[in-house]
Amino acid sequence: SSQIASFGHQPHQPPSTPASKEVWKKGGRMFSILLAVHLALLACTLVSSGAFEKIAVHDYDVFFLLFLLTVMMLIVIVWIIFYLVGTSRCPDAILCKDSHAGPVWLRGGLILFAIFSLVMDVFKIGYYSSFYSCLSAIKIIYPIVQAIFVAVQTYFLWVSAKDCVHVHLNVTRCGLMLTLTTNLAVWMSAVTDESVHKAHSKLKKNMTDDIFRWLLKAGMRSSSAEECNCNSQICQVFKNGYFWLYPFNIEYSLFASAMVYVMWKNVGRFIDHHSHHVHRLKFRLFRRTFFVGIVLGLIILVSGLGVLILYEVQVNSSTESSKKRQALTMYYIFNIVCLGLMSLVCIGGSVIYRFDKRDMDRHKNPTRTLDVALLMGAALGQYAISYYSIVAIVASTPRDAISALNLTYALLMIAQHTFQNIFIIEGLHRQPPKEDHKHDSHQKDLYGLTFVNINAVSLRVPDSGSTLAPSTASGTEAMNPSDLVRSLTAPKKMNWRRKFLREISMFLLLSNIILWIMPAFGARPQFDNDTELNFYGDSMWPAIVDICLPFGIFYRMHAVASLLEVYI
């Protein structure tokens, strides 16, 4: 018969964390931050000045903005190639990896948004190619460089998101900050273009030619705008197509910025993997569930898509005020029901957490810290819009049914963001769920033991940690090896608290998806309802919405990613 190879408990010796060779870590970070701040302010200045037609620099700022973004993207592409080649040739470049950074569902979402961003760039290239005779070359070069940038950066983040780099520390920090700033600048440019387009289409539906001239004004070689009319059908397809794909490009830039920031925090970092729990997606998303959260979430999602389609048709195609009021009433009622259910579910989840026996995870985790900061910061955008709406509704007359629905919608939006943030943040700080299958004391001692050919060996389980012997000792009892293996490999039971938390997470995830889709693809009751517009004026209220709404849209998609992590 085979002999026992080794038995007994090995004492756990945590490896000593090597000391960092960097003399002044904060100095390298400070320099890279200053570089990012100056570039971000320059890009923000050019983007914001281009949004106002009466500013004198408008004729030139779009050209300089596109030129600046093109140069930044080319520098980032060169640096990414340098990083990938340099780290692959140096065996000590990456001594450890952050298991929390760049989870597979986040990288998968990044690839999905990257694909739509590439399609958008193709539409842009086709659209601007129709006017190559009256446009400067930068208008066509920019989407080409952006497509290459998206492809290279997506590959870079897929393979390197978990890296903790230990070579060329200051150069790496500056390169990562330049990458982050470039993504934020592209995001600001896309948000401005989309917001101006939506605002003009909502407020001035007869301004199609003016919008077109605004978009092309900086790049025209000729002063005659009539030479650049978009008359062909394929040109209209390209024009409308890339505007509809802007939300995906916006989310891609923000996702990439978040992942690059975590990489920047991990530069020069040493990680003790014994204190880190590794999360692996095992494609068991719909096992051990009652399907209640999935079914309710799908009902909300499908209903929301129907409401969005009807809303867009009635608001944009009908000139009758009654049709517009019906569309607003339908939109507000759906959102009130959805936000009310989400608020109640979040409160229920927070109550369940009070009975959860899992400990809080207090280990250092830059990814979680960033997730919490983004959730809290992005929610401020929707908070601002809601509070401005509340003040306008209360102070305005008459107080009709639409105003009452709008007020309820604004109040529930504040409540839902608050309760959902509490639920998500507490879920992110909980330890991973422990196995609930109860082993007796004899079976627990078997973990960490090594044996061979279990069918040929009669195992006897000791009461203490002493080495197992083939003979029977006092205080021990024999156990059939097949029963032992069955007990160790039996499916672990999931307690009711964990099941309900998974149902809540899935329902909130699907609900946040539809609440992202509706404003991202055209539903803007802030402009269709005249209460706030009449109260704040044509200049102030569009500025408030255009600044705050992009953060509210980003909040929904970031909440989806965080809820998926809580669910798994």
* pLDDT over 60 at 59, yes or no: no
Q: For residue range 128-144, list pLDDT tens digits in order.
A: 887 777 777 888 899 99
Lowest-confidence pick of 64-78, 174-188, 199-213, 457-471: 457-471
* pLDDT over 50 at 264, yes or no: yes
- Four-residue CA torsion sign, 336, 339, 345, 348: negative
What pLDDT is recorded for position 540? Answer: 84
* pLDDT over 80 at 514, yes or no: yes
What average pLDDT does this structure show over 299-321? Answer: 85
Q: For residue range 328-383, list pLDDT tens digits in order.
A: 999 999 999 999 999 999 999 888 888 776 666 667 777 788 888 888 988 998 99
The three state secondary structure string of 498-526 is HHHHHHHHHHHHHHHHHHHHHHHCCCCHH
Q: Return d(Cα 260, Cα 133) in angstroms, integer.
A: 39
Residue 365: φ, ψ to 5°:
-150, 95
Using 50, 70 and 90 to split pLDDT, how confident is the model at 82?
A: very high
What pLDDT is recorded for position 95? Answer: 78
What pLDDT is recorded for position 358? Answer: 67
What pLDDT is recorded for position 116? Answer: 92
What pLDDT is recorded for position 16? Answer: 46
Using 50, 70 and 90 to split pLDDT, how confident is the model at 204?
A: low
| Mean pLDDT estimate for the chain | 76
* pLDDT over 50 at 447, yes or no: no
What average pLDDT does this structure show over 198-202? Answer: 64
Using 50, 70 and 90 to split pLDDT, how confident is the model at 315?
A: confident
Are 342 and 416 in contact by the 8 Å Cβ rule? The answer is yes
The DSSP result for 309-339, as a single string, is HHHHHHHHH---HHHHHHHHHHHHHHHHHHH
What average pLDDT does this structure show over 524-552? Answer: 85
What pLDDT is recorded for position 201? Answer: 64
Strands (E), 9-82: none
Tokens 């605002």 belong to: 199
* pLDDT over 80 at 247, yes or no: yes
The three state secondary structure string of 146-211 is HHHHHHHHHHHHHHHCCEEECCCHHHHHHHHHHHHHHHHHHHHHHHHHHHHHHHHHHHCCCCHHHH
Using 50, 70 and 90 to split pLDDT, how confident is the model at 408?
A: very high
Residue 202, beta-bridge partner list = none
Q: For residue range 463-483, list pLDDT tens digits in order.
A: 444 444 444 444 444 455 555
Q: Is 254 exposed, middle or buried (0-12, 13-18, 19+ CB in 10 A)?
A: buried
DSSP secondary-structure letter at 95? E
Q: Return d(Cα 171, Cα 187) in angstroms, integer.
A: 24
* pLDDT over 50 at 489, yes or no: no
Calculate the dihedral angle through the C-alpha atoms of 395, 397, 398, 399, rounding to the nearest 10 degrees: 0
* Greatest C-alpha distance within the chain: 101
Residue 305: φ, ψ to 5°:
-65, -40
Nearest to 138 by CA among 51, 46, 69, 228: 69
* pLDDT over 60 at 450, yes or no: no
What average pLDDT does this structure show over 6-32? Answer: 55
